Structure 1
């Protein structure tokens, strides 16, 4: 990331040269110039101190998922008002794309030191993918997901038909499993299941609502406003008219109304905007991050802002961050934290801090950089009572084709 020009956090000349004294000078001029030099150096030292970039002191990185023979993907972690941590993700999988994905939940009652056995929250007859979770102002738990038929490829259909040359790609045992899962429904029934969905528990997970549709989808779900409303920034999928924007709930997530479309940057195709996440900086001021697949700033995070509570949004603009997608968190001290996957060498996850409400972002802080390939990321972060941060992501480890859930416990040092 290139530092913004003339930003106070990035002085143009943090170590200015000493004044060039003439060969002969009076005592008075010498003292005046010495004092001026001292003040100049002092100011430079103070500016340099202020410009010190934040760092992440990573205390622990470890695998937390159970069932290592299965593939786990696209997690979201949330901290409840009672202190429990809820982690939702797509589990029960054979791979990155398959017909077996389901929404699972693990709970930690000791700030992520240990995690309970997975609970299956939702398992439709097609692939249930990215899962988000929040606690609403009324202490209900809201879990989001979307369904997909991406596994239903031409290669799979040819294998089902017994086309020549498919035997090596599709071992019979694997093909039998996929066929059994796929043919539970007719083609029409499968297509009817496509959508983005929510389930809601008013009692901490004891009971859950029926599945109901949401207007948009994004991996980490909605966010809460100070006035008690919920906003969901995302993308409308599986419809004739795809839309990228924000919807709002005024009844604690029970129902949703379309609020505003996010405009496309000139030259961009809005269909190449994906996987949004937002937060409230302060009343009426919001910001949203967007995964961008347009050729301009490809695979960078774009940012859009609203100053009227989400009714209108600025044209998305780059913030100099290569990575995808972004999860946003407002820390207790008011600073903003973004965490995102870094899918090129060194493969891993990074974080950046903003001390001015998202106007500028710090240089990257590495949370993990030991990944073996690009099948990783989607980190989300919570702030713990002791001030530590807990970030959780998914990752295919070296020597395996199954993704696990990993977490980093870390401290922000500035």
Structure 2
């Protein structure tokens, strides 16, 4: 088994101030039509200027439109997630608090002019504005992405947002955004919740805590429903005693439609966060990034979610580890498009890119 790279391209690549774009998700919206969302309009990886942008392709990913803004709160709107059910589109993001931004802006290595631009922006965000907008957010379109309602708050967050189950329900597996949302007697960790209509969600079901004896942090999960009906969840995991660059994926299974989940187990290879895509033959495609010595975007294939193929390189990155968050869909011709972000050699800012490829 191997891969053939057919084409690489750019969804958005901009230099200069407010040209940083990252953390995308791609989804199919119709025959030959795709949409990608991400956090753009940024100065850098951590800044208060992020907003969620959306771009469309009407030729299955070969070319992309100029972006439109979907979510733009006064806070830093980060990872963009998207799931599509007919004319209803759900776009997700999360943000952080002003005090966190001030702390990050005080760190060494930030140019004085950039530090001032960020500080001036933070000074404009009043406490009431933060209270109204802080959270994990979901914005819904009922007209195929033409217009989006103001976002509402969600108890959980994940980079790529919810997924659609075979029976039409939404499943959102994410890290509990804030402990104030925790069910009685529970705490921060990875939870799953479901919705029939995209607005009203079930009580979150806990999969695991935010850490355990082996893992210092569980976060950024994604899920897929397998052909037999089971639900496979992959979770980014930072194992204790290892560098952050050595993060990995732990997986959990549900055999009852998402009511209960097994305790996560390690896949024992480097790379994260995970994104799953079901291939036409029922196999599972996993894409992820590595930020260790083998920096880049990678893929693996599995028939059951337990045993995985060797990894395939989809896009090598430069010395910068600022890359990742790939997601994939199957194109009409059976090839695969994987969308991700990466800092290209010689660029000032990260860009949202894609690779079109096929399995051999």
TM, length-normalised to structure 1: 0.79
2: CA distance, partners of 1:177 / 1:255: 39
Give the paired residue count.
347
- Find 1:211's aligned residue among 147, 151, 162: 151
Equivalent position of 1:276 in the other structure = 221
Question: What does residue 63 of structure 2 align with?
Answer: 114
- Residue 335 of structure 1 pairs with residue 283 of structure 2: yes
Match of 1:292 in 2: 237
Q: Secondary structure at the match of 1:345?
A: coil
**313, 325, 350: which is aligned to 1:403?**
350
Whole-angstrom distance in 2 between the partners of 1:411 and 1:127:
36
Give the secondary structure class of the aligned counterpart of 2:120.
Answer: helix
In the other structure, the counterpart of 1:145 is 93
Q: C-alpha displacement at 1:267, in angstroms?
A: 1.6
Deviations 1:171-208 (A, max 9, x none): 2x434422332122224542553210001111112221
Q: Is the 8 A contact 1:277 1:289 kept in 2?
A: yes
User: What is the correspondence of 1:7-406 to structure 2 with a 5 Å cutoff?
Assistant: 54-69=1-16, 70-136=19-85, 138-149=86-97, 152-154=101-103, 156=105, 169-171=110-112, 173-187=113-127, 189-240=129-180, 241-251=187-197, 253-264=198-209, 267-268=213-214, 272-295=217-240, 299-355=247-303, 357-406=304-353
For the residues of structure 1 that align with 2:179 and 2:134, how far apart are their CA atoms? 10
Report the counterpart of residue 183 of structure 2 in structure 1.
none
1:283 CA drift (Å)? 4.8
The structure richer in strand per residue is 2
CA apart distance, 1:299 = 0.9
CA contact (8 A) 1:280 1:286 kept: yes
Q: Which runs of 5+ in 1 are unaligned?
A: 1-53, 159-165
Post-superposition, which runs of at least 4 consecutive aligned residues in structure 1 deviate over 6 A?
none
Instruction: Point out the structure with max Rg over C-alpha.
Output: 1
| Aligned partners of 1:215 and 1:258 also within 8 Å | no
Secondary structure in 1 aligned to 2:156? coil
Partner Cα distance (2:117, 2:212) in 1? 46
SS in structure 2 at match of 1:292: strand
CA distance in 1, matches of 2:102, 2:272: 25
The DSSP-based 3-state class of the residue aligned with 1:344 is coil
- Unmatched runs of 5 consecutive residues or more in structure 2: 181-186
TM, length-normalised to structure 2: 0.90
Cα RMSD between the aligned structures? 2.1
Does the alignment pair 1:412 with 2:352? Answer: no
Measure, in 2, the Cα distance between the counterparts of 1:283 and 1:362. 21
Give the whole-Å Cα distance in 2 for the aligned partners of 1:358 and 1:190: 41
- Deviation for aligned residue 1:344: 1.7
Instruction: Give the Å deviation of 1:372.
Output: 2.6
Q: CA deviation at 1:155?
A: 6.2
Counterpart contact for 1:259–1:311, Cα < 8 Å: no
Q: Could you report, residue by residue, the CA deviation over 1:134-174 in whole angstroms, capped at 9, with x for unpaired residues?
A: 112x431110000123762436359xxxxxxx8x8442x43
Deviations 1:48-107, CA, capped at 9 Å, x for gaps: xxxxxx211112223331433300000000111333110000000000011100000010
- Cα gap change, 1:285/1:376 in structure 2, threshold over 3 Å: closer, same or farther? same
**d(CA) in 1 for partners of 2:144 and 2:32?**
12
